[in-house]
Amino acid sequence: MVRARDGTDLVCPIREKTGGFDASTAKGRNIIARGILEGRIDISKLTEEFIDSLYSCTLCGNCQEHCLALDPRSWSRFPNNKFTDRRVDILGIVEALRSLVVERGTPPSIIRKVLSNISLYGNPEGKPRSKRAEFAEQLNFRVKKAEEGCPTLLYVGSIASYNPRNNETVKAVAELLHCANVDFCMLGEKEEDSGADALRLGETGLFEELANRNLKLFSTYKIKHVICVSPHDYDAFINDYPIFLGEKWIKLNLKIQHYTEFLAELLRDKKLSINKKNDEIVTFHDPCYLGRINGVYEAPRKILHQACSKVVEMRLSRNNSYCCGGGGGGIWYESIHKPRLDVERVNQALQIGAEVIAVACPLCAQMLESGVNAVGCNLQVLDVTEILLKTLNLE
């Protein structure tokens, strides 16, 4: 077992599940990337096995979080390193390698299908745009449309719009906002994919196109506050849009939050009132792109500690959290080695006696429910919003 500089084990969940070959590690991929840059490796000679390992990476960021690649004594030689800890942009290297594979037209068939669906239909599943906001018809109140003039947007995103399990999360978010008398809107059929998945899978051009569409939409409807359901959309808006769109995006001066951040504020300001606490043993699974990538650890825990009597932590949590396996395309792509990170994470929750795994990401909800089914246990997978909604005094 490899330990990082801070004593963390299981630094790369994929490595631990695939025999530890270099091509399945950040180090191995970085060496190959350098070889391509220096002309020592012909991109056309990349094997199917390497491409498989490239798309097996969930982009969870654990390697980047914990591995100090550069000796502190060498820092002065790299004054332009953008990381204060002098880390290497490992995730960026993976994405760059994937871009090369996509440019050559040799990604795995399922990845080609996902990218084609995003391009043709505006979502990874290839579902019709007319079905994008169908879930909202099940709400017992009417949600404003963006064209009605409302600066606060609930950005649902593609994964949560079409998946029935994640529809429940979105409905819970909307009901909580309604209970707190928040004036908010949705874009409905007009909503565009954020492009987050396209970028992570290596289709930079498609990402830029979608980013520009969202820029136009948010500007047209004078959106000032964006509440994101998916941490992956949140990450794209916070970190990638400013890079690709520059001042055009920055000038919108948007307040962008994940829904757990906003709901924690509503609880703090007494705009939501808890009636009866959940008395089950609950553990929170940190989504990689909410926690490790963007540092949002406290908001979901503040909600759970107010809504639940018994909250316990898994050994691998916060910046050491174990990936569910759904990021970086893992929700669609099954690698040759079938690492089943979802099953491993479910077992980690069972080891501490949890009865509920609380999640705050659509991908995590889908993956961990799959893990529960594979293990065959009674563990519940509930979104933070679903737990909170059950505890409110709605009178």
Which pTM value belongs to this model? 0.91
User: Residue 310 forms beta bridges with which residues?
Assistant: 281
* Confidence at residue 8, expressed as pLDDT on a 0 to 100 scale: 61
Report pLDDT for 4.
Answer: 47
Distances (CA, A) of 31 to 40, 163, 260, 300, 328: 11, 38, 38, 38, 20
Cβ-contact 185, 144 below 8 angstroms: yes
pLDDT at 2: 46
Alpha helices (runs of H) in the chain, residue ranges in sequence order: 13-17, 26-37, 48-56, 62-66, 90-103, 109-121, 158-162, 164-179, 196-201, 204-220, 231-235, 241-245, 247-250, 259-268, 298-307, 341-351, 362-375, 384-391
Following DSSP, what letter does each residue of 243-311 receive, concatenated? HHHTHHHHTT--EEEEHHHHHHHHHHTTSS-B-S-EEEEEEE---TTTTTTT---HHHHHHHHHHEEEE
Mean per-residue pLDDT pooled into runs of 10, the chain (395 residues):
52 69 74 83 85 90 71 58 62 91 94 97 95 93 94 97 95 97 96 97 97 98 98 97 96 97 97 93 97 95 97 93 94 87 96 97 97 96 97 67
Parallel/antiparallel/unpaired status of strands 278-284 and 225-228:
unpaired
What pLDDT does residue 268 have? 96
Provide the pairing of β-strand 144-145 with 185-186: parallel
pLDDT for 387 equals 97
Query: Quick one: which of 266, 211, 293, 239 has its CA closest to 384?
Result: 266
Which of 254, 361, 347, 267 minimizes the C-alpha distance to 306?
A: 267
Distances in whole angstroms, Cα of residue 300 to Cα of each of 78, 168, 269, 290, 370: 37, 18, 16, 10, 22
As a whole number of angstroms, the distance between CA 126 and CA 204 comes to 19
The answer to whether the beta carbons of residues 388 and 308 sit under 8 Å apart is no
Sorted by where each starts, the structural domains of the chain and their CATH numbers stand as 13-107 (no CATH), 122-265 (3.40.50), 272-391 (3.40.50)
- The two structure tokens encoding residue 325: 């396996």
The pLDDT value given to residue 5: 45
> Two tokens at 233?
């959309």
Cβ-contact 65, 10 below 8 angstroms: no
End-to-end distance of the chain based on CA atoms, in angstroms?
53
Please give the distance of CA 7 from its chain centroid, rounded to a whole number.
25
- Is 261 in contact with 299 (CB distance < 8 Å)? yes
Evaluate whether 330 touches 346 at the Cβ level (below 8 Å): no
